[in-house]
């Protein structure tokens, strides 16, 4: 695999001090120029992290955004505001936002369109709950999630979107999908995108796996043909384990 991205989703963790501590520790490790790393802290830590990581190749991402530039949307943050502080990635449709905050495929679609307009890379999360998998309906659910999220996206923009396959039963549970399950679903997603747009587009999509990835299980997941990286929650909170994940990626790219 020539590209492997490690994206660390901090969720609602770390205050300003915790963010500065993390940045100081991660900067002590040496990264290669080709390492692709992105940290996705809470909104209040974005600017702090951006400033602390200045001069490194670690990028920053946001966990959510609104699909309008500004207006009467109390409590929301726009992609325009994110762009202003140097955010390069933004998660769209994380399962926690779908489950607790009413995120829908339609709102994901609007957010993707707006983020692309601003030049921010959307990381679209798709994935099934355990009962859906038990019923053998995971592929039809993911087809629906992808089909709706990509409505009206120009062909040339499609590969700018990163897709993260995150089986909900594996998020924060310690229960990782097997490398075979992760590969099977990533290959399915690639094939679905080929069918929706073209084989060339399907082939160049970046597809991440997310769900209890940690240094102990990352190698077997990241070496799969159709997996281009990981969206990592818990393990990205610790600088050492984040660095180990980046090193595993660098090894696999050799």
- The catalytic residue positions are 94, 166
Closest approach of ligand PEP to the CB of residue 166, in Å:
5
Total count of residues recorded for the chain = 254
Q: Enter the tokens of residue 179.
A: 């490398």
Q: Report the residue from 202, 211, 229, 239 that binds ligand PEP according to the rule CB under 6 A.
A: 211
Angle CA 111–60–191, to nearest 5: 55
List the interface residues with ligand PEP, window 107-166 (CB under 6 A).
Answer: 166
Q: Exposure string (b/e) for 85-106, b if CB count within 10 Å is 16 or more?
A: eebebbbbbbbbbbeeeebebe
Number of residues binding to ligand PEP, judged by CB under 6 A: 13
DSSP single-letter state for residue 136: T
Dihedral angle, C-alpha 9, 93, 202, 251, nearest 10 °:
10
Quick check: 234 binds ligand PEP (CB under 6 A)?
Answer: yes
DSSP assignment, residue 236?
Answer: G
Tell me if 8 contacts ligand PEP by CB under 6 A: no
Least distance CB 6 / ligand PEP (angstroms): 11
Q: Which stretch binds ligand PEP (CB under 6 A): 49-57, 61-69, 73-81, 225-233?
A: 225-233
Closest contact distance (angstroms) between CB of 123 and ligand PEP is 9
Q: Which residues bind ligand PEP (CB under 6 A)?
A: 9, 11, 166, 171-172, 210-213, 231-234
């Amino acid at each position: 695999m020539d590209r492997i991205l490690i994206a660390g989703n901090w969720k609602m963790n770390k205050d300003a001090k915790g963010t500065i501590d993390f940045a100081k520790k991660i900067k002590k490790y040496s990264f290669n120029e080709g390492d692709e790393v992105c940290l996705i802290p809470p909104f209040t830590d974005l600017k702090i992290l951006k400033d602390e990581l200045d001069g490194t190749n670690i990028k920053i991402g946001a966990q959510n955004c609104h699909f309008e530039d500004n207006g009467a949307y109390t409590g929301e943050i726009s992609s325009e505001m994110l762009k202003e502080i140097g955010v390069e990635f933004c998660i769209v449709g994380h399962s926690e936002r779908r489950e607790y905050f009413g995120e829908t495929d339609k709102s994901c679609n609007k957010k993707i369109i707006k983020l692309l307009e601003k030049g921010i890379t959307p990381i679209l999360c798709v994935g099934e709950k355990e009962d859906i998998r038990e019923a053998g309906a995971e592929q039809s659910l993911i087809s629906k999630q992808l089909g709706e999220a990509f409505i009206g996206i120009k062909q040339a923009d499609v590969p700018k979107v990163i897709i993260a396959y995150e089986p909900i039963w594996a998020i924060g549970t310690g229960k990782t999908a097997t490398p075979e399950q992760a590969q099977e679903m990533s290959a399915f997603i690639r094939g679905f995108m080929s069918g929706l747009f073209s084989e060339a587009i399907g082939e160049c999509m970046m597809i991440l796996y997310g769900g209890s990835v940690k240094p102990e299980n990352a190698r077997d997941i990241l070496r799969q043909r159709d997996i281009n990286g990981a969206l990592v929650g818990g393990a990205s909170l610790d600088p050492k384990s984040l660095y180990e994940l980046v090193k595993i990626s660098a090894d696999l790219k050799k």
